[in-house]
Structure 1
């Protein structure tokens, strides 16, 4: 039989055997070396290990394992060899016990399960210790970070950040804040990551480890960017399509002034800021307001027009803000919601805002500022989501100075001011407007008429005080009243004929025709980029355009025309 002491000499760890009184019965050589003690007079465990709990372990028949610092990091395993009588203390180096633990079938199984879980999601998973040293990474490391696993394990996250492997370490922030963090990272290879960092605590509350789960959002970011670009392009084409659908939307223009105006309308359509339209009577402020609404993301919601000059002052408040049940004798039994609420999610167009009574301006100001109002007869405010467009042909600044319009309301309305040009400022649009209105009313009344070129030129020269509205009414009246298929000079009312006499003087028909032809040619050249484009617009060959330009002595360079 092998001698016990001889057997203990070959053990890779130190051994102490103690009885229930704490008396040392046996002490191996390794144990003496570790404790720096070979004195035979020291016979009690408390003289060597004052913190030992071996006596308690023997009495209770249990075991205890705890770290212990001697010459190196050790683990003390205290175990009852014979409960109530005898116990042993094993001094096992940390490396040895780690090897024992790692070789355990259960540990091997858990490690395999952990690796499977870490690799399951396809996302990058890293585990670091409380000093920021990377202990473990999953197999997504090389694909996402561009660095092999063995090049990361054992490295500090601070070193990784400094060397540019990642832009900003989530582990560093978890260690500083001791709480979960979510942040964006960019790797050295250019991948963009969304990282969640989780702290893992010991039982005493100290930080043990940090687990990071990083999702590669590079492709998502690219797709989002492309989707946004596609959406912007789609919005652009939708707006361009809307602008060119002139026959349906009454958007008829050829002049650069109106081109700039509609370009601005397209750009501000989706902005919810209040728009202030001002211009002469009949220039098309309502048409522009509807255009902005139809170009906006509110196009599927109501467009509600309120003519502040047409509604009697006595009922203006109830029409605009509504009233609750039983407010008025003879009113609707259930009350009325009002135009402001009817425009919910849509656009409220306040036309002729300068005519709004002074006593209602304060309530409108509340609606503009707070997006809420209180109906008549009620004490409960109503919240609405409304985009405001206002219009007037009056000088509100002058009204503010006179005290007939609130200054605070004026500045609340005057956020995006748009001046709509008069017809006198865009005469080149007149022939196209005439053609549009002629087609519209010819179809409407089944009376198909055309306008003689001399009539068109007269209309171009005429001062339309009522602007587009007056021109439109004149065309409609002529379509209905002229019996022949072509509207000529003798069909026009005296007011227009007198204008012609003042403008033309003694000009004969040939001269008038030539002047009209020259005017149309100049207008077309001003709005065309090339000779070919101008010829297509007028339906003639480019050589005809060249000949006419020479005939009328038109200065191409002055028109900034590109040949």
Structure 2
């Protein structure tokens, strides 16, 4: 109930924000259906929200409510579009902006409409318009952030299964063991499990079990009372278990725990209480344990390096995150995300040449997402040209990308795969080559040719 009320409140705030803008604003989804239109837009066009919202832009064009569809142009070009249109003897500037989701796909198209009959007025109000638009986009981003697991960027079905599992187990307090190579995003999964759980308002405490000196690790976990050892604080110090009370304790690199400490941690998890070093009083705990490792714990058990009983206590729900080389369909959306992030961070506008994209798609990424992110940042900050081609890449990076010795994958193959998928989805959605072509922003004859090329069969009952 509280979530629904929050969503309703946020929805009202969004409507109030766009209604306060002097310019017309209309929002369409990725399927070209109108989802929002502010009062200024209704006033400019003479169309009421009741006539407009919920309808497909193609229908509005046919019925004469619109002369042009900026939404379809944006979806086709995947970039900002500016168009001048004349209505009732007035010139209007239509500016369509794509809103991308975490997978790099367009989820919404926000079109702003302004009366530009008086160009001087346009110039004086431009700064204000940009500020108001940014406010709207920030509110929209805030709305998205309420759904934690959408922050994991993936198109891969196997990865989506892991996300679904993490989202499901976030609702309960079972221990979770996240497995995977270094750099695949184990800590991100742990954070999102916490944020999607009933403990989200409690603390999220992380410890890297391999980074704490053996002489200090026990006091880090359990804390100590006054006089526990030489140099101890007068009032003692709470340990990580206490600090995580009411929240989540994330044991990163759990395979690095010393054997003698494993026994004490197992007992604390089982008994749900700890005793500080030098103390006598048991302190009750309400802590969820999430662990992660890139080690083979079962092999460590055979080698007597990890306790079997602790392993099974931590592994109530195991989640194995696949390496990036096994989900290469995630590389392009990740590249897009990192490119946008670092361009914004460094106030740049760089882009990557398709030949380099081909190298990125072919490389196996032994360091996984962390290595890919570092590579994109390096390319952006070291390339002097806006277009990052092979000639702009330092020799070390270029050698790394080519080290597999295989021929770089052709970007065309990847783009054809994506095109076939988009056409198939559009046709399945509409069951009509005419409507699918309109949805995709291409002619019906062009769509039929592409369907023949990709062996996509058309239904005999289509309209």
| Unpaired runs of at least 5, structure 1 | 1-226
- 2:166/2:319 contact within 8 Å kept: no
Match of 1:515 in 2: 413
Match of 1:437 in 2: 338
Choose the corresponding residue for 2:207, options 306, 326, 333: 306
* Pair 1:377-2:278 in alignment: yes
The 1-side partners of 2:378 and 2:288 are apart by: 36
Match of 1:481 in 2: 382
Choose the corresponding residue for 1:324, options 190, 201, 225: 225
- 1:318/1:338 contact within 8 Å kept: yes
- 1:373/1:381 contact within 8 Å kept: yes
Match of 1:267 in 2: 168
Match of 1:51 in 2: none
After superposition, where does 1:224-239 map in structure 2 within 5 Å?
none
- 2:426/2:440 contact within 8 Å kept: no
* Pair 1:360-2:261 in alignment: yes
The 2-side partners of 1:277 and 1:343 are apart by: 19
User: Does the C-alpha gap of structure 1 residues 451 and 322 become closer, same or farther in structure 2, counting only changes over 3 Å?
Assistant: same
The 2-side partners of 1:380 and 1:477 are apart by: 53
After superposition, where does 1:413-492 map in structure 2 within 5 Å?
413-492=314-393
The 1-side partners of 2:322 and 2:417 are apart by: 20
Q: Please identify, of 451-460 and 469-478, the stretch whose mean Cα deviation from structure 2 is larger.
A: 451-460
User: Does the C-alpha gap of structure 1 residues 230 and 442 become closer, same or farther in structure 2, counting only changes over 3 Å?
Assistant: closer
* Pair 1:252-2:148 in alignment: no
Match of 2:406 in 1: 502
The 1-side partners of 2:181 and 2:148 are apart by: 25
Query: In the TM superposition, what whole-angstrom CA distance separates every residue of 1:204-263 from its partner, at most 9, and x where no partner exists?
Result: xxxxxxxxxxxxxxxxxxxxxxx79979x99xx9xx9558668xx742112212222222
* Pair 1:554-2:458 in alignment: no
After superposition, where does 1:118-137 map in structure 2 within 5 Å?
none
The 2-side partners of 1:315 and 1:430 are apart by: 40
Query: In the TM superposition, what whole-angstrom CA distance separates every residue of 1:451-481 from its partner, at most 9, and x where no partner exists?
Result: 2222222211110111111111111111211
The 2-side partners of 1:230 and 1:471 are apart by: 38
Query: In the TM superposition, what whole-angstrom CA distance separates every residue of 1:490-525 from its partner, at most 9, and x where no partner exists?
Result: 223232452486224xx9xxxx45334224435657
Superposition TM-score, scaled by structure 1 size: 0.51
- 1:449/1:487 contact within 8 Å kept: yes
Specify which structure has the bigger relative contact order, considering alpha-carbon pairs within 8 angstroms and separated by 6 or more residues.
2
- 2:423/2:451 contact within 8 Å kept: no
SS of corresponding position for 1:348: strand
Length, aligned pairs only: 318
- 1:352/1:392 contact within 8 Å kept: yes
| Unpaired runs of at least 5, structure 2 | 12-142
| Coordinate RMSD, CA, aligned | 3.6
> How far apart are residue 482 of structure 1 and its match?
1.2
The 2-side partners of 1:539 and 1:434 are apart by: 24
Query: In the TM superposition, what whole-angstrom CA distance separates every residue of 1:416-453 from its partner, at most 9, and x where no partner exists?
Result: 11111111221111110011111112222223321222
> How far apart are residue 322 of structure 1 and its match?
1.0
User: Does the C-alpha gap of structure 1 residues 497 and 387 become closer, same or farther in structure 2, counting only changes over 3 Å?
Assistant: closer
Superposition TM-score, scaled by structure 2 size: 0.61
User: Does the C-alpha gap of structure 1 residues 525 and 374 become closer, same or farther in structure 2, counting only changes over 3 Å?
Assistant: farther
SS of corresponding position for 2:200: coil
User: Does the C-alpha gap of structure 1 residues 497 and 268 become closer, same or farther in structure 2, counting only changes over 3 Å?
Assistant: closer
- 1:454/1:516 contact within 8 Å kept: no
SS of corresponding position for 1:310: coil
- 1:424/1:464 contact within 8 Å kept: yes
User: Does the C-alpha gap of structure 1 residues 378 and 543 become closer, same or farther in structure 2, counting only changes over 3 Å?
Assistant: farther
- 1:279/1:285 contact within 8 Å kept: yes
User: Does the C-alpha gap of structure 1 residues 513 and 373 become closer, same or farther in structure 2, counting only changes over 3 Å?
Assistant: closer
> How far apart are residue 411 of structure 1 and its match?
1.0
User: Does the C-alpha gap of structure 1 residues 513 and 292 become closer, same or farther in structure 2, counting only changes over 3 Å?
Assistant: closer
The 2-side partners of 1:527 and 1:364 are apart by: 50
User: Does the C-alpha gap of structure 1 residues 351 and 229 become closer, same or farther in structure 2, counting only changes over 3 Å?
Assistant: closer
User: Does the C-alpha gap of structure 1 residues 319 and 532 become closer, same or farther in structure 2, counting only changes over 3 Å?
Assistant: farther
